[in-house]
Amino acid sequence: MAALSQQTVIAVVGAGAMGAGIAQVAAAAGHPVKLLDNRPDAAARAVAGIRAQFARLAEKGRMSAEAAAAAGDRLIPVHELAHLADAGLVVEAIVEDLEAKQTLYRDLEHIVGPECIFGTNTSSISVTAIGAALKRPERLAGLHFFNPAPLMALVEIVSGLATDRTVADTLFATASAWCKTPVHAKSTPGFIVNRVARPYYGEALRLLHEGAADCATIDACCREAGGFRMGPFELMDMIGHDVNFAVTQSVWKAFFNDPRFLPSLLQQELVAAGFLGKKSGRGFHDYREGAVPPLPASESARPAPATIALCGDSPATAALAARLAERGVSFSHRAAGDGRIAEADGVALYVTDGRSATRRAFASGVAATVLVDLALDYAKAGRLAIAVADQCADPAPAIGLLQAAGLAVSRFADVPGLAVMRAVAMLANEAADAVNQGVCDAAGADAAMRLGVNYPRGPLAWADGIGLENIRDVLANLGQTYGEDRYRISPLIQQKVFAGKKFHD
């Protein structure tokens, strides 16, 4: 399906940050763009701001002065819906309210031509529900940009029940022509990104609620071990807790109170207190003038042991073993099921499989058991979280071993799954369910999470690397510990494990 031609007039309704960003993208791609807002002079101010942005891009050499001037000239502020009659695509970026969006597009049906496409930028409202108010709902699809639209590559192309496939394909091709990376999605709660991302926040909030570690330490482990650009608490602070909590509530309610999306009492308290994050000066972290950023908790220096047993045969265990060997750190390597740890080994060190260290020690018969968290790349990680079994009298050898490998060590309470492994397993599980339910394909799920929220790796590709059987075991062990449907394993993960296949073969 071909993209809309550059001669096609693009109309953007809503001149806030998102609407102005979309208008900038369309104008830069060569389209005449009409920008409308019901606030007096808002469209004109937005056009002036976009033109200034084009001029700055030209000053920085990112576009020629001629291209910047031409793009600015293609922007036209308008004041009435009637002025959008010649539009070939109308993108709304107005308030997130179902009735407001339905009213807008219902009014536009009497103004624009029959071939005009409607592209709603909604991030959470059902495209099917918006289209239900239209005489021709087949012309409506989601065209969900991410903020800031000129910089973020991802666009979710969301099809409602009535959306014509040619409309979705045209928007997909058009987004590609606008130098974006589009992914197809079905209109289900949260689409791809806002659905699949929920565990990154939800599991961190649960860890905090259980006293596993403080916010700064969990954030540091997710950054320095997991490779995430921001830890979950600093990310929620940046988004705003009013926004993040509302999205979680919306997805939870839309999925009929599925425990997988259960909102957090801790975050509810922050919202009630007005501690909304950076914009209010205080959230999980303190951003007020003079506030000192908290440091993550790190274990004091311990001597390297003479030897220690690194247990298991997972890819994560092998990668950690390679780092230790490269640094000349002495250890023995034993299979996961081998409980015959010699006294000289001192401590058995395992990569977490979703059990607590205490439970793992009981199962293996090795009292001196210490678990380490997952890392995106053990060779480059700067920090690892550990959990120590209640039966372990002295974890110092394990701490010293990891420190000798150049790692800062953060000791968590003995919670199952630790931070990074728990987050990645749940992200992969949610992405797998989205694929299993036809919301998107595996490539789309991974692209959406890498480009929409800057994850270091797509969750399904990450699961492939860890081993799907290991992801399955982590989820099963979390489910057994908590006894909650929250940790049910996606049928698609189980199917691929039985078939010996990956998501990306």
Catalytic residue IDs: 123, 144, 156, 194
Three-class secondary structure assignment of 359-428: HHHHHHCCCCEEEECCCCCCCCCCEEEEEECCCCCCCHHHHHHHHHCCCEEEECCCCCCCCHHHHHHHHH
The alpha carbon of 273 is separated from its chain's Cα centroid by a whole number of angstroms, namely 26
State both tokens at 61: 């050499």
DSSP 494: H
Helix (H) / strand (E) containing 10:
strand 9-13
Residue 431 and residue 439 in contact, taking contact as beta carbons nearer than 8 Å: no
Tell me how many degrees the CA angle 151-152-154 measures, rounded to the nearest 5: 150
Helix axes 241-254, 265-273, angle to 10 degrees: 140
Exposed e or buried b for every residue in 252-262, given b needs 16+ CB within 10 A?
bebbeeeebbb
> What single letter denotes the amino acid at residue 147?
N
Q: Residue 438, class by beta-carbon neighbours within 10 Å (0-12 exposed, 13-18 middle, 19+ buried)?
A: exposed
Spell out the alpha helix ranges (H) of 153-274.
Answer: 165-177, 193-196, 198-209, 215-224, 232-239, 241-254, 265-273
Residue 58 and residue 81 in contact, taking contact as beta carbons nearer than 8 Å: no
Give the count of beta carbons closer than 10 Å to the beta carbon of residue 499: 9
Q: Report helix, strand or coil for 6.
A: coil
Which one, of 159, 245, 151, lies nearest residue 194 by Cα? Answer: 245
Residue 244 and residue 264 in contact, taking contact as beta carbons nearer than 8 Å: no
State both tokens at 78: 């308008």
What residues contact 302, with CB distance under 8 A and at least 6 apart?
396, 397, 399, 400, 403
Tell me how many degrees the CA angle 146-21-184 measures, rounded to the nearest 5: 35
State both tokens at 91: 């993108």
> What single letter denotes the amino acid at residue 398?
A
